[in-house]
Structures are given as structure tokens and as C-alpha cells.
Amino acid sequence: MNDARLPPTRRAVLGSLGTLAGAALLAPRVARADAATSRVTLLHTNDTHSRLEPFEKGKLAGLGGIARRATLIRSLRARNPHTLVLDAGDTFQGTPYYNAFAGHAEFETMSAAGYDCVTLGNHDFDKGVDALVSAMTKARFAFVSANYDIDAPGLRARVVPHEVRTIGGRRIGLFGLGVSFAGLVSGSLHAGVRYQPPVATARATVDTLRQAHGVDAVVLLSHLGYFGHGAEPGDVELAEAVPGIDVIIGGHTHTFLDAPHVVRHRTGGQTAIVQVGSSGTHLGQVDLLFGPGAQVETHARWHLVDASSRPT
Ligand SMILES: [Zn+2]
């Protein structure tokens, strides 16, 4: 697919300043930047809710479908091989595919579509932890969740708090945050998994990623919701409380952000919050543009998943 075939998208241009490198670090940093890509692309979805086929009727008729999404991902990745494909949770629940196959079909098709990293939403526990772990056998991508304290052995083996992907010579720190189970998931379905307060977890994780792992950018996959759940924080409150996150890819509230919500930090830098509704009708794109030093610029847009991305 060429540019002309893509549906028109809106573009927001954002400047984002990360942590400024000290003078002593400048020389090795510049040397590494010379060999590294200037652009890493993030493609993202959230709350796809087992919608493997396009909508047949209603106002969303003709939109969505994992095959079309996969084709769109493939064409965008062909333009920039330095691409990560990410999801912010609630992959499960919403169509008979989940009732019949308990999540295996969703994770298998997402693997074929080229997903790299996914976080967990409340509905991903709808058939319990053992069913989730069973479905994960079909997943050829990573799961991140930093604030779910996991004792359940099968799940613990499969979910990491954060991970670092080196792509095009750039180190991208990824971590996940999940919503409180209170009022959303019954105790028996999340046995061995405990919710921890996300702000403190996020601060510690950002510190680990930036200081210990020396990442070039930090990306949060969040299922907290654009607005918070009860007394718990949502993405905006989290971003305001925790500097150092370049992008929050959100979910849970099914919010469609036409342009990113940008939180500017008094300490310098900013966080771009994005979310693309639900059901896989849209595919979000965030380009991280790297200049000299630690500066990261963020460009966000979205693509409609429709017949123009039909498999060929
Ligand atoms: Zn949710």
C-alpha cells in the first residue's frame, strides 16, 4: 500500500523533552545516536474485545477485523521496519469467538499480525487466571504489567513488569499498568493476582528504566482508563504525577482521542496520552523522533481499519 491509499488522518506534532543528558554522557550518546535510527514507530490498539471480524451492521459497519488490521500493520511496518506493535488490554470478551475458544483465537491472530507487547485488562480475566495462561500459549508476544503482583505460577512465568526492546539501535522501555479489580473482576477469577497502587509503581519503574537500563524513551501500556476508576487514578492523573513517560497508550474507557492529550511537566518534558476507542476499528500510530541528545519528539495519528486495508 502506498501513502495515497491511506485514509486521511489527523496529525498532532508534539515536542517532548526527555531527561537531559549530562555533559559527561554527551560523547558516547552522540556516537550511539549516529548509528541509531531517528524514528521508531509505535502502532497501537486497545479494548479490541474479541472483534476478529469487521462489524456487519450499525454505524461501525465495515470497520475493524483482525485480518484488515494485520494488513495495515504489515504495510506500515514495511515503510518503517523499526516498528513496535502494542496493545493496552481487554483483548477478550465481546463476541462468540471468546465464548468458543477462550482467548486462543485472539492471541493466535494477534501473533500472526505481528504484535510485540501487550498489557492485561480486567476482561482478560473473565474466564479466570488458568484460562488466561492457557490462551497465552498461543501468544508470540510479551505481556507487561508492573502493578499486578502475581503469585499464580503460570501467569508469573509469562508476565514481566517491564521490558526493554532495542530497535534500530534505540532502547525503548515498555511497562504496563492494570486497573483495580474492585467491582470489575470477582476474587476467584484473579486468584493469585493483586492490584498495587499505580503511581508509586510507575515512579519506580520509570526510574529503573531510565537509570538502570538507560532507555531512550519510556512507553506505558495502560489499562487504568483515560479517567480513573473510582478513587484510583486514570491516565491523566498518572501522567501528571509521574514525569519521565514519553507516551501513554491507554485503554479501558474506550475513549477515542482524535489528538493526543498532552501533559507538560514542570520539571521539563511532556507525556502524550493516546487511545483509539475500542473493537479494533482504528489503529493508532505514534512516531518517536530522536534528535541529538536526549530529546524525543512525538508525532501521533490514527488510521481507520476498513476495506482499504483488505488482505490481498
Ligand atoms: Zn477494561
Estimate the share of the chain in helix, then strand, then coil, as percent rounded to the nearest 5: 30, 25, 45
Q: Ligand 1 mean position to 124 CA, how many Å?
A: 8
Domain residue ranges in the chain: 9-305
The strand pair at 217-222 and 247-249 is best described as parallel
Can you give the length of the chain in residues? Answer: 312
> Which residue bears the cell 493476582?
193
Centroid of ligand 1 to alpha carbon of 122 (angstroms): 5
Ligand 1 geometric centre to CA of 161 (Å):
19
Q: Calculate how far, in angstroms, residue 92's C-alpha sits from the geometric centre of ligand 1.
A: 10
pLDDT recorded at residue 309: 74
Please give the distance, rounded to the nearest whole angstrom, from the Cα atom of residue 300 to the centre of ligand 1: 23
Q: pLDDT tens digits for 101-115?
A: 999 999 999 999 999
Taking CA atoms, 34 is separated from 80, 215, 292, in Å, by 18, 16, 9
pLDDT reported for residue 292: 84
Residues contacting 35, CB < 8 A, separation 6+: 169
For residue 12, give every residue at least 6 positions away whose Cβ sits within 8 Å of its Cβ, in sequence order, or none: 259, 260, 272, 299, 300, 301
Q: pLDDT per residue over 286-307, tens digit each?
A: 999 998 877 799 999 999 999 8
- Per-residue model confidence as pLDDT tens digits over 119-155: 999 999 999 999 999 999 999 999 999 999 999 999 9
**Per-residue pLDDT tens digits for 177-209:** 999 999 999 999 999 999 999 999 999 999 999
Q: How far is the CA of 177 from the centre of ligand 1 (A)?
A: 12
| Per-residue pLDDT at 229 exceeds 70 | yes
CA distance 247 to 245: 6
Residue 14 Cα to ligand 1 middle (Å): 28
- Ligand 1 geometric centre to CA of 6 (Å): 29
| Residue-wise pLDDT tens digits, 168-177 | 999 999 999 9
Share of the chain above pLDDT 90, in %: 83
> How remote is the C-alpha of 218 from its chain's centroid?
11
Cα of 144 from ligand 1 centre, angstroms: 16
Indicate the helix (H) or strand (E) that contains 152.
none
Judged against a pLDDT cut of 80, whether residue 4 lies above it is answered with no
User: Cα(254) to centroid of ligand 1, in Å?
Assistant: 8
What separation in Å is there between the alpha carbon of 252 and the centre of ligand 1?
4
pLDDT beyond 80 at 12: no
264: CA distance to ligand 1 center in Å? 26
Query: What's the CA-to-centroid distance between 228 and ligand 1, angstroms?
Result: 11
State the Cα–Cα distance between residues 283 and 300, nearest whole angstrom.
Answer: 11
CA of 221 to the centre of ligand 1 (A): 13
C-alpha cell belonging to residue 24: 559527561
Confidence of residue 34 (pLDDT cuts 50, 70, 90): low
Dist. CA 178–CA 180, nearest whole Å: 7
| CATH architecture of residue range(s) 9-305 | 4-Layer Sandwich (3.60)
Rg value, the chain, Cα: 19
pLDDT tens digits, one per residue of 65-114: 999 999 999 999 999 999 999 999 999 999 999 999 999 999 999 999 99
Residue range 46-58: mean pLDDT, rounded: 96
Tell me, in angstroms, the distance from the centre of ligand 1 to residue 95's CA.
Answer: 15
For residue 268, how far is its CA from the centre of ligand 1 (angstroms)? 31
Q: How much of the chain, in percent, has pLDDT values that exceed 70?
A: 88
